Each structure stands twice: as C-alpha cells, then as structure tokens.
Amino acid sequence: MIYIKDLKSGLDIFKALSSEIRIQILELLATNQSLNLNEIANRLNLSNGAITMHIKKLEDSGLIEIQTTGGKHGIQKICYLNKDKLMVDLRSKDAENLYEVEIKVGHYSDYQAMPTCGLATKDSIIGDFDDPRYFADPDRIDAEIIWLTEGYLEYRIPNYLKSNQSFREIQFSLELGSEAPGYCDNYPSDIYFYINGIEIGSWTSPGDFGDTRGNFNPDWWPPQLNQYGMLKLIRINKKGSFIDGCRISDVTLDQIQLDYKSELTFRVAVTEKSVNKRGLTIYGKHFGNYSQDLLARVLYDVREG
C-alpha cells in the first residue's frame, strides 16, 4: 500500500494518475500481474515510444516497478504494479501525529508452529522443511517468508508515545495467504488477529497462491511452492476493528486499554477455533508480490497544555 500522508507529498502520484492512458496501463497490470512494454503497447494500440514516456512517469511516481530480463529478442523491460492500494490522508494536520515501523517477518517475539511449516531467507531455506525447531534458529530474524499449518507468529511493536499523547488508531499492513503442501489456489483458511492477546477479528484467506511466480521471489525459490499472497490492511480505532475497510469486530482501542507505557504486541494465528484450518503464510520484502515486510503504523492525539 502507498500511503500519502499529505497532499503535497503525493504530487508526483497525482500527476501520474492524471492521464487516461496511464490509468489504462495500471488497469492492465492489475489484471495481468506483469507485462512487457511491447505487450502494453499492443494492447493499447500505441507505439513503443508513446508507451515508454507513460511508463517512465508511472515508475518515477512509484506506482509501478520495472525489472529488466533477457528474452528471445534481447533485453525486455517487465512492468509490475508496485502496490495495489493507495491511501491519501486529506487532513494534513494529522500527518505529524503518526509514526510507522517496518518489521521483518522473521523478527517475531513468540511463535507456535505445526507442520507443514518452515521459513526461508532471500538466500536459502532455514533448516529443514516441516521441523518447528528451526523457528528458534538465530537466522530466523532474516526470514522473508514463513509458513505454518496451525499456530501463530507474534510481533512486538515499539510504543513511542509520550505522556501527553494517546492512541487514535493502529494499523498493520502485511501480505498473507493460506498454507497448503506445495500450493492450492482454492484453499480457504481462517486467520485471526490479536493485539495484546485480545482477539480483534479474523479474515478468510481464499488460498495458497501459486498459479504465477511472485514478483519479488528469489530465483532459487521452487515454482511448485506457494508464490504470493494478498496485501491486507488491518485497522483498530475507537469505532471498531477493520480489514481493508470492512468491519471484522466491534473491538475498539478503548477495550485494549493502551497508554504511553503499554507494551504492544500483534499476533497472527490459525487456531483451533478456525473453521477453515488451512494454515498461513506471511511474505516479506523479497517474496510475494509486494516489496514490504510487516508495516505497523500508529496514529495518535496530543493533549494540549
């Protein structure tokens, strides 16, 4: 997700979105995951020169990413959507009242894992497949993909608030999917979310996707394994708990009872209560379709005087 904190910082993106052709390019990439320049030009019935100018504006704005690869006819430029969500905060006065941290998916503080399970860095598998002991391996801090059939991963989120500040909203953004042996695109799994041990709701992942290769997967990652997930935005505020704007529970921040001294933990879990108990996979910056780890964002109010 691209988060524009104030209107001025989003000028490049707004300019990129001001062209109908560039909107069509984004729509093509959203449907096809990736296309080269020739494919985009042919589908829009435009010359390569005209497309190149539009692609550069989209790349400069951060809306798309371009990777160069070798092909039958020489070097090809492959285009991908950089993110699939765009959020603009129109209240510029709030832009200063937030902080965000990106936490590697392997930097969990607690876990429980049942096979099938495993984890890998961008360079190699950590230990052996389906052996939960390797979730305690020191190298797990560098993990960029983690999967388990049942259990949880819990992360400690830094609380930077001062005594005159209070929580207004907490957000978590991460790429998630189910966990099947190999992969299975139709493999629903109920994934639950907790803050400080309090359940705030759940989301049913449709599957463990592997129909196409993940945009950021390293070259060595086997094609018969899961490839990418779905980017989800979880929010809790004084009105309730939400995922991608849809209410998942009536649990509010007031019920969590946080203040500037509070510890803050976030847990992602597949539990006994999951009706569809088909695991979870978390994708980090170098796996899946989104170049990010677990992103935590805290919005807060400041008391005057």
**Tokens for 87?**
């959020």
Let me know the angle formed at the C-alpha of 296 by 294 and 301, rounded to the nearest 5 degrees.
175
SS3 of residue 111 by DSSP = strand
Contact 41, 8 (CB under 8 A): no
Beta strands at 294-302 and 74-81: parallel, antiparallel or unpaired: unpaired
Count the Cβ atoms, other than its own, within 10 Å of residue 11.
11
pLDDT at 71: 63
Label residue 267 left, alpha or beta by phi (over 0 means left) and psi (-120 to 50 means alpha): beta
- What span, in angstroms and rounded, lies between the C-alpha atoms of 191 and 120? 21
CB contact set of 167 (below 8 Å; sequence gap of 6+): 161, 253, 258, 259, 298, 299, 300
Side-chain-side CA neighbours of residue 140 (13 Å): 20
Residues of the chain with pLDDT under 70: 1, 3, 5-6, 8-9, 71-73, 89-95, 305
pLDDT at 166: 97
Count the Cβ atoms, other than its own, within 10 Å of residue 31.
8
Domains of the chain: 2-81 (1.10.10.10), 97-302 (2.60.120.260)
pLDDT at 31: 86
pLDDT at 74: 72
pLDDT at 6: 64
pLDDT at 8: 66
Side-chain-side CA neighbours of residue 303 (13 Å): 10
- What span, in angstroms and rounded, lies between the C-alpha atoms of 159 and 206? 33
* DSSP for 249-295, written as a single string: E---HHHHT--TT---EEEEEE-TT-SS---EEEE-TTSTTSS--EE
First to last CA, the chain: 36
Name the nearest CA neighbour of 22 among 75, 61, 69: 61
Contact 288, 214 (CB under 8 A): yes
State the DSSP H helix or E strand holding residue 167, giving kind and residue range, or none if neither: strand 165-177
